[in-house]
Homo-oligomer: A and B are copies of this chain.
Amino acid sequence: MAIQLKFSLPEKLYIKDPQTTKYGNKLLGNSVLLIDELGFEGFTFKKLAAKIDSTETSIYRYFENKHLLLLFLNCWYWEWLNYLIEVETKNLPSPQVRLERAIHLIVNAHHEFTLTAYVDEVILHKVVVMEGTKSYHIHSVDNENKDGLFVCYKELVERVAAIIELVQPDFEYPRGLSSTLFEMANHQLYFARHLPRLTDLKRKDDLKVELEKMLLIFAKKMLI
């Protein structure tokens, strides 16, 4: 039996925590599938309700609106990745190796680890790459930030920034490099898939290998 991970996500993200109920699990799993299928703009609670044989009303008992659901999915992903980076880098010998491992996980975690029984992490990753930035590019950022809705991403970025600081204590931009690695991982992948002239990565089987190599080179050169 697999371990079920339940994350403590910011309370204001949801009305009722979907991780705690069967219905909630179904809601989450299917929302990932449906957002992937329709795109976030085409996705509605009504369509999700139809997909899980339920009603809009019931979904509104979990989330105030679809934006917060998207942010929930992102936070979830960030928490999971943060947890993985923590346990997977803990006992590694040097900061350099830990950074390498972290970069490997940023690119590959969704293929190598399981989040839960009810969410397809490969598709969740697709959604994060495709729709992720929309979860924090919103008019109400400042208010939502006050409510702590972005701590998950901050902590994730800070975890890798901490490793970067160990690699090179006098480096001026540990957070900037860390957030850039996360953003690059998503954008370069997105570009390779959809707007290939914006990247040098080629869309083939080993795209992930190439991406990891690219991020590694960027990080290494920055920390020379």
Interfacial residues, chain A to chain B (CB-CB below 8 A): 38-42, 67, 130-131, 133-134, 136-142, 145, 150, 153-154, 157-158, 172-176, 179-180, 183-184, 187-188, 190-191, 194-195, 197-201, 214, 217-218, 221-222, 224
Contact = CB atoms under 8 A, between A and B. Distances in A.
Contacts of A194: 141-142, 145
Contacts of A184: 176, 180, 183
12 contacts: A39-B139, A133-B137, A134-B134, A142-B194, A145-B194, A154-B198, A157-B197, A157-B198, A175-B197, A176-B199, A179-B198, A183-B184
A88 B222 CA distance: 28
A139 B42 contact: yes
Given A180-B184, A201-B176, A195 B134 contact: no
Contact of A195 (B145, B198, B201, B214): B145
A201 B154 CA distance: 15
Contacts of A200: 172-176
A115 to B, nearest CB: 23
Contacts of A222: 218, 221-222
A187 to B, nearest CB: 6
A41 B150 CA distance: 19
A140 B39 CA distance: 8
Central interface residue in A67, A130, A134, A200, by most chain B CB within 10 Å: A200
B150 A195 contact: yes
Contacts of A174: 200
Given A41-B138, A183-B184, 8 more contacts: A39-B138, A145-B194, A175-B199, A176-B201, A176-B214, A179-B187, A179-B191, A183-B183
Given A184-B180, A214-B173, A190 B137 contact: yes
A100 B16 CA distance: 51
Contacts of A187: 179-180, 183
